[in-house]
Amino acid sequence: MRLNRIQEKWTDCSSGICLVGVTVLLTVIHYLLPAALHEQLVFVYSDPDLMTIWTASLLHESSAHLRSNLEWFLLLSAYTYLLYTTWLQRRTFWIIFGVLFVVTPPLTIAVDYWLVYHRWGLLMESATAQGFSGIVSALGGMLLVAIGAVVSKEYGQKVALATIFAVVLGGAIGVLIIVGIQSPVIVVVLCLGVLGTTSLVVSITDLRNPVQFWTRISGSWDSILTIGPCCVVMMLLLTALFRIRVGPDGQFVNVVAHGVGLLTGVISSALLNPQKPYGYLLPLTR
């Protein structure tokens, strides 16, 4: 038993070193890579190169861009790792983690090139793509699936579905607040969403017997205190990923790439997890 605990601690320590190592690698590349080589490794929409599809994800246009991506990467990877090692499988975490690093850059670049650059014409001929945000978005999708899987395992599919709706709804509300949209129709839709989500967790019987409802959840505080912060982080991430704003240099947050990255993380996690973490979505198909 003691040997197993030592082995687990060593594994967790090694995993932490690997995750921090990614941030160190990106930092070294940003500050030590010669400018001439940096220009050759970014993805240029008007002159696409296969190799730069992956190298561009390791580059950043500014220190602020790098810092933002590294902060989100550490936060998301830490909480996702916590959920996988506590309720799911550590090995599965690393498999999905590695797959996202390989498949996310080409998928985000491909959709960006075809949709944003070719179809919509929103990018200039000299436009380039660089940054780690696509992979960060994919980790967000991985965390979202992990939240649903853990909640489903602990409290059932209905509560898991309500949790996912609540997280997405919270992110949407955050985006609307930042953007400043105050349409009455949107407010009504959001209120209906809140009521619908609440009804999946709190029934009329619970409202009539609040003591019974409190007793039912009082024995799960350890899980709630672990899953709750993960949900908050996910809401904040959605708010950060999908806020539409233009910077002083004319560049805008590429919400299309963020959306593709998020979907890549969700789909990859659902397909590669042997425990079928998407089971909480089954009520939608019945």
Nearest to 142 by CA among 69, 70, 234: 234
CB atoms within 10 A of CB 86: 13
Inter-residue contact 234 to 166 (CB < 8 Å): no
Q: In this model, does residue 281 exceed pLDDT 50? A: no
pLDDT band of residue 203 (cuts 50, 70, 90) is low
HEC-encoded secondary structure of the chain = CHHHHHHHHHHHHHHHHHHHHHHHHHHHHHHHCCHHHHHHHCEECCCCCCCHHHHHHHCCCCHHHHHHHHHHHHHHHHHHHHHHHHCCCHHHHHHHHHHHHHHHHHHHHHHHHHHHHHHCCCCCCCCEECCCHHHHHHHHHHHHHHHHHHHHHHHCHHHHHHHHHHHHHHHHHHHHHHHCCCCHHHHHHHHHHHHHHHHHHCCHHHHHCHHHHHHHHHCCHHHHHHHHHHHHHHHHHHHHHCCCCECCCCCECCHHHHHHHHHHHHHHHHHHCCCCHHHHHHHHHC
CB atoms within 10 A of CB 9: 10
pLDDT reported for residue 198: 67
d(CA 168, CA 145): 12
- Rounded to two decimals, what is the model's pTM? 0.85
pLDDT reported for residue 14: 80
Q: In this model, does residue 284 exceed pLDDT 50? A: no
Residues 6+ apart with CB under 8 A from 88: 146, 149, 150, 273, 275, 277
pLDDT band of residue 42 (cuts 50, 70, 90) is very high
Nearest to 122 by CA among 268, 274, 251: 251
pLDDT digits (tens, 9 = 90+) for 239-270: 888 876 544 444 455 788 899 999 999 999 98
Q: In this model, does residue 236 exceed pLDDT 60? A: yes
Write down the mean pLDDT value for the chain. 80
CB atoms within 10 A of CB 254: 20
pLDDT reported for residue 106: 94
pLDDT digits (tens, 9 = 90+) for 65-92: 899 999 999 999 999 999 998 877 888 8
pLDDT reported for residue 174: 82
- Check the CA dihedral 282-200-263-57 and report its sign: negative
Residues 6+ apart with CB under 8 A from 108: 134, 257, 260, 261, 264
pLDDT reported for residue 1: 52
